[in-house]
Amino acid sequence: MAVRAVRGAVQLERDEAGHMDEQVGALLTAILERNGLTADDLISIWFTATPDLHSDFPAAAARELGIVDVPLICAQELDIQGAMPRVVRVLAHVESDRPRSGIAHVYLGAAAALRKDIAQ
């Protein structure tokens, strides 16, 4: 079994804790489903949020999904002029038999524009 990294992002419509939990939860669920993973396959998850998000920790959404024994950390994205606002990004380290080329990176909604080079 290999260690793989899975990327993803979602743009929030507004900075509200419930909305963040819903959208980040949807992102994590999509990452797991599209890669045939379960919570037991997760090694760790890094979350970053743009500086305009203050309502909650993105990792709280993972805990609400039942991901309780996986190390999680949140950090702030660089404040780059012209960057897409209200974005939560994910970098998950997982155990998977899939080759690196078989990993599905997930960019939901408007965040798909962040990585047009990755097929959705």
Binding site, annotated residues for prephenate: 7, 89, 107
Q: One of 22, 34, 64, 77 is an active-site residue; which one?
A: 77
Sign of CA dihedral 115, 91, 42, 96: positive
- Start-end of H helices in the chain: 17-34, 59-64
How far, in Å, CA of 117 to CA of 13, rounded? Answer: 24
Q: One of 14, 89, 95, 100 is an active-site residue; which one?
A: 89
The answer to whether 63 is a known catalytic residue is: yes
The answer to whether 74 is a known catalytic residue is: yes
Where is the binding site, in residues? 7, 89, 107
The answer to whether 77 is a known catalytic residue is: yes
Q: One of 13, 16, 63, 95 is an active-site residue; which one?
A: 63
Place of tokens 């507004």: 14
Catalytic residues: 7, 63, 74, 77, 89, 107, 115
